[in-house]
């Protein structure tokens, strides 16, 4: 009977140790989750800034293309027959 109580006591001790270990691990996982959430927020902000910058560059590229096309249209066409 005493050995059964000893076995039960050992199991309770192991259960208590496991419970503490799982609580520590849970706390660490919560901290990691918060850190990842913060990092995701920062990445989203960076992504938004890059998207805005990309839009600005695309607009500038379109404007530059229009200016080049206007310059090309302003160049008089050469008369190929006089060059021969």
- Give the CA count within 13 Å in the CB-facing half-sphere of 62: 6
Which pLDDT does position 2 carry in this prediction? 87
- pTM assigned to the model: 0.60
Alpha-carbon distance of 51 to 56, in angstroms, equals 9
Asked if the structure places residue 82 within a domain, the reply is no
Asked if the structure places residue 8 within a domain, the reply is no
Asked if the structure places residue 81 within a domain, the reply is no
50 pLDDT more than 80: yes
At 3-21, the pLDDT tens digits run: 999 999 999 999 999 999 9
Sign (positive or negative) of CA dihedral 22, 23, 27, 28: negative
Asked if the structure places residue 79 within a domain, the reply is no
Q: 78: pLDDT confidence band, cut at 50, 70 and 90?
A: confident
Alpha-carbon distance of 68 to 82, in angstroms, equals 27
At 27-47, the pLDDT tens digits run: 999 999 999 999 999 999 999
Asked if the structure places residue 2 within a domain, the reply is no
Q: How many domains does the chain have?
A: 1
Q: Using a pLDDT cut of 70, give the percent of the chain over it.
A: 93
81 pLDDT more than 60: no
Q: Which domain holds residue 61?
A: 13-73
């Amino acid at each position: 009977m005493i050995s059964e109580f000893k076995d039960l006591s050992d199991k309770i001790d192991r259960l208590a140790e496991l419970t503490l270990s799982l609580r520590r691990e849970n706390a660490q996982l919560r901290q990691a989750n918060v850190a990842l959430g913060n990092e995701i927020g920062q990445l989203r902000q960076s992504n938004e800034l890059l998207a805005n910058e990309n839009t600005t560059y695309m607009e500038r590229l379109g404007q530059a293309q229009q200016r080049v096309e206007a310059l090309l249209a302003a160049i008089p066409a050469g008369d190929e027959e006089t060059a021969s």
